[in-house]
Amino acid sequence: MKAARRGDLWWKTAVVYCLDVEKYLDWNDDGIGDFEGLAHRLDHLAELGVSCLWLMPFQPSPRRDDGYDITDFQAVDPRYGSLGDLVEVIRMARDRGIRVIIDFVMNHTSDRHPWFRDARRSRDSRYRDYYVWRDEPPAHQEPVVFPGEETSMWELDERTGQYYVHSFYRHQPDLNIANPAVRDEIATTLGFWLQLGVSGFRVDAVPFLIEAPTGVDIGDPHEFLRDLRRYLERRSDDAILLGEVNLPYPGQLEFFGRPGDPAELTMQFDFRAMQRMYLSLVREDARPLAEALAARPDLRIEAQYANFVRNHDELTLDQLTDAEREEVFEALAPDPDQRIYGRGIARRLPPMVDGDPRRVALAYSLLFALPGTPVLFYGEEIGMGENPELGGRMTVRSPMQWSSERNGGFSRADSRRLVAKPPRGGYAPEHVNVESQLHDPDSLLATIRGFAHRYRSTPEIGWGRFEVLDQPVRSVLAHRITGEDGQFVAVHNLGPEPARVPLALGPDPADSRLSDLFDLTTLPVDDRGRVEVEVGAYGYRWFRRVTSEDRRLT
């Protein structure tokens, strides 16, 4: 058991980094990021402390939804390179201790996928049943996912006179997973990528995949997910399913599979804690976040929450109440143009907190110190801002900023040919780029590297039992995570005044002290287990509780 705990379940202590190849580094000067460029930046990721790379979709696609609209599930878009180039990246990443997971987007295809093109030729097409058709849209319709961009989930196909369902854009027809042939395609596709060396999948839009309101009877939808998991486990001994399930905790628990029931997803993003973290930051009150974390249900041993500050989509606040969301909007996205779909924010963190380096570092400290596995979105490690000119959800998907050179060092192509432009103004590459932070010990890059490295040497954060520690200061979150290796204690101050908090850690282990993980100081814990911690304005402290018996290096 011990060995398994330390080594086997790699995702429990991973540092995940999400990027879009197209936006990362252009090596052949055509204005489009490519696998060769990514290969040249794997050392950046390794030095940062990344141990798992999540690649956003790179398959052939008309990119009307930035690649989440695929026309061939088992290929690489030639603009980014070849399958061979991808395999090189997977292998080179492995050499650096980095696993690669990829987006798995089989809720739908692009409407230009050969299956759909054929399916809409006639009602007798052999691919007709790959999709879901109806003579009339249902009387009751679910709200659309992209309000303002779509008005219904059902679209009339003029030629064959029937409606097809699309949970997302109308150019993304949903696949019919009740059809065994579609399930076979899914299995073959997963098997294909596993064989090429990926370590798992970020499963797009899981609730839509298994339970879209298509009216199609697939029996118990969770049985499909269990099946997928069983298949994955037959094909690979350590691949994961990291699911996108934006639901409150009880709903998510169903997608993990309850302890004792057959397993479904290995990991899920904690959308709830993410949203409550912003509410806490805005209120300078740690309680909304603490309440969310305390309400997480117990999971099966190998399951895990993935924490994040923002992902590639709108920063959704859909799990807050209307009043709470309004509060966050007013503070962080005062201009209605910075909001999207009535529920989210199209900005990155640093501009939202007026560039205050303390508050930026605080949020990333939380990302790495909260129980679970941290997930970074490319550019967060240097504090990139968004480019509002890209519009909608694309604002945060501007090219990676490597240097102060032309196009931020992303590409040597003429700037008119770039797949997307970097922002102008204070967050332009002249001001925010990797190169200028690389050798600056006070940079955000250095700070985040410090978090990642400390996280990796503190496996209890990924494995341990979480508790909020009682203390009297509202702006402070004090928490402890207890694992086999010991106790990790962190104190975060979301307020603008320094704080001094008394903590009751209990007498066990006796004769212990708190050793600061970022400097050489230690704090005495008295024989009743009490200690006082000082934390600066918008500050954070990470500790390990050590005794004279401890053999770990701090």
State the minimum distance, in angstroms, from the CB of residue 392 to ligand NOJ: 11
Partner from ligand NOJ, Ca ion, none contacting 28, C-beta within 5 to 8 A by type: Ca ion
State the minimum distance, in angstroms, from the CB of residue 513 to ligand NOJ: 45
- Do 181 and 129 meet the contact criterion of CB atoms below 8 Å apart? yes
Closest residue to ligand NOJ, Cβ-based?
68
Alpha-carbon dihedral of residues 275, 281, 284, 288, nearest 10 degrees? 20
- Residue 78 token pair: 């030639």
User: Rounded to an integer, what distance in angstroms lies between the CA atom of residue 338 and that of residue 125?
Assistant: 44
User: Rounded to an integer, what distance in angstroms lies between the CA atom of residue 520 and that of residue 379?
Assistant: 30
- Do 522 and 513 meet the contact criterion of CB atoms below 8 Å apart? yes
Round to the nearest angstrom and report the end-to-end CA distance of the chain. 25
CA distances, 362 to each of 418, 494, 521 (Å): 33, 8, 20
Closer Cβ to ligand NOJ, 168 or 368, answer by number: 168
Q: Catalytic residues, which ones?
A: 204, 244
Closer Cβ to ligand NOJ, 252 or 458, answer by number: 252
User: Rounded to an integer, what distance in angstroms lies between the CA atom of residue 541 and that of residue 501?
Assistant: 12
Partner from ligand NOJ, Ca ion, none contacting 313, C-beta within 5 to 8 A by type: ligand NOJ
State the minimum distance, in angstroms, from the CB of residue 54 to ligand NOJ: 11
Half-sphere exposure of 69 (CA within 13 A, CB side): 17
- Do 299 and 255 meet the contact criterion of CB atoms below 8 Å apart? no
Half-sphere exposure of 490 (CA within 13 A, CB side): 28
Partner from ligand NOJ, Ca ion, none contacting 34, C-beta within 5 to 8 A by type: Ca ion
User: Rounded to an integer, what distance in angstroms lies between the CA atom of residue 484 and that of residue 13?
Assistant: 14
- Residue 208 token pair: 């839509």
State the minimum distance, in angstroms, from the CB of residue 26 to Ca ion: 4
Closer Cβ to ligand NOJ, 73 or 168, answer by number: 168
Q: Report the DSSP pairing between strands 465-468 and 522-524.
A: unpaired
Closer Cβ to ligand NOJ, 12 or 312, answer by number: 312
Please confirm whether the linkage preceding 498 is cis (ω < 30° from 0): no
Closer Cβ to ligand NOJ, 131 or 168, answer by number: 168
State the minimum distance, in angstroms, from the CB of residue 432 to Ca ion: 23
118 sits near Ca ion (criterion: CB under 5 A) = no
Closer Cβ to Ca ion, 125 or 403, answer by number: 403
Partner from ligand NOJ, Ca ion, none contacting 269, C-beta within 5 to 8 A by type: none
State the minimum distance, in angstroms, from the CB of residue 67 to ligand NOJ: 9
How many helices (H) and strands (E) the chain has is answered by: 17, 22
Applying CB under 5 A, the span of 22-30, 144-152, 161-169, 306-314 interacting with Ca ion comes to 22-30
Considering only residues 23 through 82, tell me which ones interact with Ca ion, judged by CB under 5 A.
26, 28, 30, 32, 34
Closest residue to Ca ion, Cβ-based?
34
State the minimum distance, in angstroms, from the CB of residue 206 to ligand NOJ: 10
User: Rounded to an integer, what distance in angstroms lies between the CA atom of residue 396 and that of residue 485?
Assistant: 38
Partner from ligand NOJ, Ca ion, none contacting 30, C-beta within 5 to 8 A by type: Ca ion
Secondary structure element (H or E) that encloses residue 438, with its range: helix 434-438
Partner from Ca ion, ligand NOJ, none contacting 404, C-beta within 5 to 8 A by type: none
User: Rounded to an integer, what distance in angstroms lies between the CA atom of residue 506 and that of residue 416?
Assistant: 62
Binding site for ligand NOJ (CB under 6 A): 65, 68, 105, 168, 204-205, 244, 313
- Do 225 and 185 meet the contact criterion of CB atoms below 8 Å apart? no
Partner from Ca ion, ligand NOJ, none contacting 32, C-beta within 5 to 8 A by type: Ca ion
Closer Cβ to Ca ion, 86 or 273, answer by number: 86
Applying CB under 5 A, the span of 8-16, 21-29, 241-249, 426-434 interacting with Ca ion comes to 21-29
Partner from ligand NOJ, Ca ion, none contacting 26, C-beta within 5 to 8 A by type: Ca ion
- Do 40 and 411 meet the contact criterion of CB atoms below 8 Å apart? no
Partner from ligand NOJ, Ca ion, none contacting 201, C-beta within 5 to 8 A by type: none
- Residue 525 token pair: 């814990």
State the minimum distance, in angstroms, from the CB of residue 276 to ligand NOJ: 20
Closer Cβ to ligand NOJ, 33 or 409, answer by number: 33
State the minimum distance, in angstroms, from the CB of residue 420 to Ca ion: 13
User: Rounded to an integer, what distance in angstroms lies between the CA atom of residue 531 and that of residue 545?
Assistant: 11
- Residue 224 token pair: 């499909």
Residue 8 DSSP code: I
Amino acid code (one letter) for 509: P
Q: Which residues contact 404 (CB under 8 A, 6 or more apart)?
A: 429, 430, 433, 435, 436
Closer Cβ to ligand NOJ, 33 or 539, answer by number: 33
Q: Applying CB under 5 A, which residues contact Ca ion?
A: 26, 28, 30, 32, 34
